Structure 1
Amino acid sequence: MKSAPSLQCEMAADRIARQITARLSEGEALLPYEVTERLRAARERAISERRREVRVLHARTQAASSASIQGGTMVLGGPGDSGDEGGNWLRALISAIPVFALVAGLVIYNVKSDETVLHEVTEVDTALLTDDLPPAAYADPGFIQYLKTSATATEQH
């Protein structure tokens, strides 16, 4: 496997490429239009290839910097990743705490909501059953009108 070139080699190659480009650009004015266009296209291809190589080199450098050797084996991981499974388990547990809190909050809200609705229904049923009026009176539209007028009459006194 080929090793990645060092930073100094990369800088030297870039410096030489710039010098060659400067020399070629000096004589460009004397060339015909077709030749200059072909040169321009070749330059663009070369630049795009160089950018692709730099991206690949950068990705390899990052992968190599996140690899560590432990006990004769190479372990891949991010910075500060010691590779022990206990830390990963603890991280997973800590990241699950907000999910558990959300689920617990939803369960508590649901129970409280059910209790509130049950309490309101119980109050209405108790009022209906202990009242002197039969439950059918509450369904009568005239009785509802009577309640409205009696409520306004008691507010005026």
Structure 2
Amino acid sequence: MNYAKEARDLDFAYKVRHALNESAENLPVATLDRLASARAIALSRKKQEAPAVALAFRGILAGNTGLSFQGPTSWLGKFGVVLPLLVLVMGLFGIYEYEQQQRINDLAEIDVAVLADELPPDAYLDTGFSAFLNKEEE
């Protein structure tokens, strides 16, 4: 229902514009000049739009050939690229070493549990003993 009203309003606006355009052709030149000057005055009083704010970083897109500490060609710029990569590699290496140490600690705990148990280690290798443990769990 709202769509039909909008369509009627739009159709009415087109008809009014068409009628005004037809009648504007028949206006005297003095009236057209007065309308043009009134339009110019109205446009001069129009509020200026606020300028758009954009952040621009020097040397990122255009390239920086000057002597400065910014840009991909300076030693500081190269260090700024290499440092995060170095930190990433060191972090991954640290995570790998930590996981390996955790695995070694887990295996050591299992070894201590097996050696501290009353059963001999050969009992754990026996398939019949595994079946016996599985039956007891059920």
TM-score of the aligned structures, taking structure 2 as reference length: 0.49
| Higher-RCO chain (CA-CA 8 Å, sequence separation at least 6) | 1
| Structure richer in strand, relative to its length | 1
| Structure richer in helix, relative to its length | 1
TM-score of the aligned structures, taking structure 1 as reference length: 0.43
